[in-house]
Structures are given as structure tokens and as C-alpha cells.
Structure 1
Amino acid sequence: MMKRILVVEDEPDMQSGIKDNLEFEGYDVDTASDGKEGLQKILTDSFDLVLLDVMLPHISGFDVCKKVRLENNNTPIIFLTAKGEEIDKVIGLESGGDDYLTKPFSLRELLARVKAVLRRTEMQNPSATNHEMQVGRLKVDFSTYTAWVDGEQVKMTSKEFEILQYLLKHKNATISRDSLLDNVWGYDFQPTARTIDNFILKLRHKIEDNPNEPQIIITVHGMGYRLVHS
């Protein structure tokens, strides 16, 4: 089936250029020219991927992403921006983005990122991890990306699900921060240590009886993390 991609970009030449090249590669492409229109389309239609500019009229790309994730919509999002500072990358990833592409970028790089994110999405096959799993206080369903803590449904970002799924696939093994970055985000970007640590902290608050004394997601000092699970 043809993959559907939404391009949310306010620069007309950039928007049409991306659209034309993606269509040439065989994708079904829709567009939006501001954050408000983009948000509405993401929440009311079905896409396999969103290319989301950060600096948009009405609503910024970061805020669009946050609002989408608050609606439990896990459509993969690649941020497009002229900014290249590390803090912007951290904000983008922590707001729920899946990848980050800095302008100006080549067509080859854009297509590589699109294919990589779509491939990772396809690989998140629930058969690779049981549909429903209990991890400490947290129950997760990887087929629907839903989660519950003590019977109450809770919101989790797509990255929280993906990190947990990766740790479960390598349970009882020590996983480095670099390994999490390479296999969850899928490209060579070195964040501050707190980027990965913040996601782990969020998971611990859902999983552990006492997040300050974790018994399930253990820190292996100087190396990374280990998920202890039978």
C-alpha cells in the first residue's frame, strides 16, 4: 500500500519541492501551510509520516507535536528546521518527535530519513514483543500503543514505548545510551546525557514502586541501563 505523508511547511517553494520529490518516489503526499492546518489534518486524517517544520504560523511545530501526542496519536514526526543548535534537537525529541532534519538538507538525506523512520515503524511489529506485557506497575499494549498504571490508563509518548520495547527485547542485558539512540532514533545525534535519562525517568515513574530506588530499570554506572524482567 502507498505510504501517506503530510508535509507541514509554510515556505511555498520548499513545500512544493518536498511534495514533488516524495511523489516521484511513490508516496501519497498531502500538505499544510501553517501549524493550525497541520494539526487539524494530523488529528482528523491518517498518515504514515509527518514532515513538520518548526517555525510555522499560528502554532509552532513543537507545539503541534505536543498537542498530537496528548491525543495519543503516535504518527511518526520528522522535524524540519533551519536551527541546528543542540538544545533545539533536545526539545524536538522530548516533545515527541521521531527524527530531526536541519535545513538546508539534500534530497538524498531527506529520503534516507523518511525511509528509515517508515522502516522503524514497520519493524515495531507487536509479534516481536507480546501484545500486552506487565512491567512492574505498568501494563502496555504494543499493538495499540496504550498503557495503564494500576488499572488507570496513562499517556506515553511514542519514544517511551519504543525505548521500553527495545529494553524488553534486550531484557537483563546492559544497554548503553548510544545503543538506545542508534536503535530508537536511528541516526547519529549525540544528545546531552539528560535526554535519554529524562525518558528513563518518565518510564520509572510509571513502572517502579519507588522511582528513586529503581528495581526494574537499573542504572549501570558508566555504561547505561538494564531492564530486569523475568
Structure 2
Amino acid sequence: MKLLIVEDDPIAAEVLAQNLESLGHQTQLARNGLEALASVAQDSFDVMVIDRMMPKMDGIEAIKQLRANHNTMPVLILSALGDVDERVEGLQAGGDDYLVKPYALRELVARLEVLVKRSQTVMSPILNDWIEVFDLRLNKVSGKVFRQEKRVLLQPQERKLLEYFALNPNQLITRNMLLEKVWDFHFDTDSNLIDTQISRLRTKVDKPFHPPLIHTIRGKGYVFSHTPDVLA
């Protein structure tokens, strides 16, 4: 698993990270909600472990912002605040699970594995060699693309871009994510590479059909969705 640990106590954060890494997992640390949102905007994670009480932006507000940005990454709240009302508040804010400190590492890992497995089962649109999402089908082997059962002819890079969108439906996808995952660029670029490819893809995948699937979130990136409600 690739985890984002959001904890303002540096000792607690480092101990948790070391324990998880000793079990073969990857970790990244953030000291508060603002840093967590910045990390999520730059990279993707399988799951987030977040404390509630932190400076600048607490865990509850960070989760609300995460969900407002249409990010469905599973989130486990790890907090010393364990009253029923506090747990309910965390879950209602968009948390997927809540574990009270002090905790047993084995239980934490088990809960995280369940969250990640559940997320992959729900979100993965892969069926054999086909990716099927909304009214679109893409074959990863042959490269054939169909929307509403009509063949769509794409260039290789356009297919790669569409595949990344199709594997991450209803989630905010930043330009940096596209540069890294689609073009393998690990740096920002001022070129109009993404704009050009998005425009070409929309011409082939969106304009001949309804509704459009590729939505621009001004100043943030893109969302691949069948309904405009995801932008609300």
C-alpha cells in the first residue's frame, strides 16, 4: 500500500511510518490538513491515515475538502478523540473508518487493507482485457475503443490518456498527475501538451456523443464523469 500519514506529532508520525514501512508499505508524511491536500494534488495514494486535531487545518476540514474535490480515496481517522459524537462527526465528514488512539498496529493494518481492497473492488472498472466505465469500453490489448457501442478511432497517446481517465472515474485528476502517469514527465511544463491532447480526445470521445465525459475543473484539473452532478 502507498499511504499518506497526516499527523502533526513528528514522533508519532515517524514511528507509524517506520512500522508500516517495515511491513513493506510506502509512506509519505504531512503535518496538517493543508499539507495533506497539497500532497494529494501532486500524487496518488491508496489510503490516507489522518489525525483530527492539527494546526492550520484539522483532519475533519481536510476530509471535507478532499471530498469536495471529488477525491474518493479511502480515509482512516486515527485520533485520541474517541467519543461517539466525535467518531460520528468524522465519518459524516467523509471518513471511511475511525480508530481511537492508542491502537494496535495489527488492527490498524487490517483496517487499512480492508479499506483499500473495498475501494479497488468498487472503483476498478477492469473486466478481463476490457476497461468498462459509464458508456465507454476500451480494450487494453487491442486498443479498440467504443462509446455507446460505436467505434472511436484514437491515436496511441490519446488511448493512453483515455485509459488513465477511465481508470480514475469521478476523481479530480491534476495536470501534474497526467504529466507523470501518461507522459512520464516528473516535472511541470509550460507547454500546451495536455491542452492539445485533451482537446483532440474531446473531439473524438465527447463531441459526437452525450453527455460529455471529460470535465474541466478550473484551476485544479479534470474529472472523468458521466454526470455533471460530480462537479457540484
Distance in 1 (CA, whole Å) between partners of 2:125 and 2:83 is 35
2:63 paired residue number: 65
Structure 1 pair 115/152, CA: closer, same or farther in 2 (3 Å)? closer
Instruction: Note the residue ranges of structure 1 that are not aligned, 5 or more in a row.
Output: 134-140, 158-230
SS for the counterpart of 2:3 is: strand
Distance in 2 (CA, whole Å) between partners of 1:101 and 1:49 is 14
Identity %: 33
SS for the counterpart of 2:38 is: helix
Offset, 1:156: 8.4
Question: Which amino acid in the other structure matches residue 83 of structure 1?
Answer: L
2:125 paired residue number: 126
Q: Deviations over 1:45-86 (max 9, x none)?
A: 111111011111110101001111111111111111111111
SS for the counterpart of 1:30 is: strand
Offset, 1:152: 5.4
SS for the counterpart of 2:24 is: coil
For the 8 Å contact 1:54–1:81, the answer to whether it is kept is yes
For the 8 Å contact 1:6–1:50, the answer to whether it is kept is yes
1:198 paired residue number: none
Structure 1 pair 154/114, CA: closer, same or farther in 2 (3 Å)? same
- For normalisation by structure 2, the TM-score amounts to 0.56
Distance in 2 (CA, whole Å) between partners of 1:156 and 1:80 is 29
Question: Which amino acid in the other structure matches residue 153 of structure 1?
Answer: P
- For normalisation by structure 1, the TM-score amounts to 0.57
Equivalent residue runs for 1:1-230 within 5 Å: 3-124=1-122, 125-126=124-125, 131-132=133-134, 144-145=169-170, 153-155=228-230
User: In the comparison of the two structures, how many residue pairs are matched?
Assistant: 145
SS for the counterpart of 1:111 is: helix
For the 8 Å contact 1:43–1:73, the answer to whether it is kept is no
Distance in 1 (CA, whole Å) between partners of 2:231 and 2:93 is 11
Distance in 2 (CA, whole Å) between partners of 1:101 and 1:70 is 23
Distance in 2 (CA, whole Å) between partners of 1:82 and 1:156 is 34
User: Could you list the runs of 4 or more consecutive aligned residues of structure 1 that deviate by over 2 angstroms after TM superposition?
Assistant: 125-128, 130-133
Distance in 2 (CA, whole Å) between partners of 1:65 and 1:39 is 9
Distance in 2 (CA, whole Å) between partners of 1:143 and 1:10 is 30
Structure 1 pair 30/132, CA: closer, same or farther in 2 (3 Å)? same
Question: Which amino acid in the other structure matches residue 155 of structure 1?
Answer: V
Distance in 1 (CA, whole Å) between partners of 2:167 and 2:3 is 23
For the 8 Å contact 2:6–2:48, the answer to whether it is kept is yes
State which structure, 1 or 2, has the greater radius of gyration over its C-alpha atoms: 2
2:217 paired residue number: none
Offset, 1:26: 0.8
Offset, 1:95: 1.2
Q: Deviations over 1:153-200 (max 9, x none)?
A: 11389xxxxxxxxxxxxxxxxxxxxxxxxxxxxxxxxxxxxxxxxxxx
For the 8 Å contact 1:43–1:68, the answer to whether it is kept is no
SS for the counterpart of 1:78 is: strand
1:183 paired residue number: none
SS for the counterpart of 2:50 is: strand
Distance in 2 (CA, whole Å) between partners of 1:91 and 1:43 is 25
For the 8 Å contact 2:170–2:230, the answer to whether it is kept is no
Question: Which amino acid in the other structure matches residue 131 of structure 1?
Answer: V
Question: Which amino acid in the other structure matches residue 12 of structure 1?
Answer: P
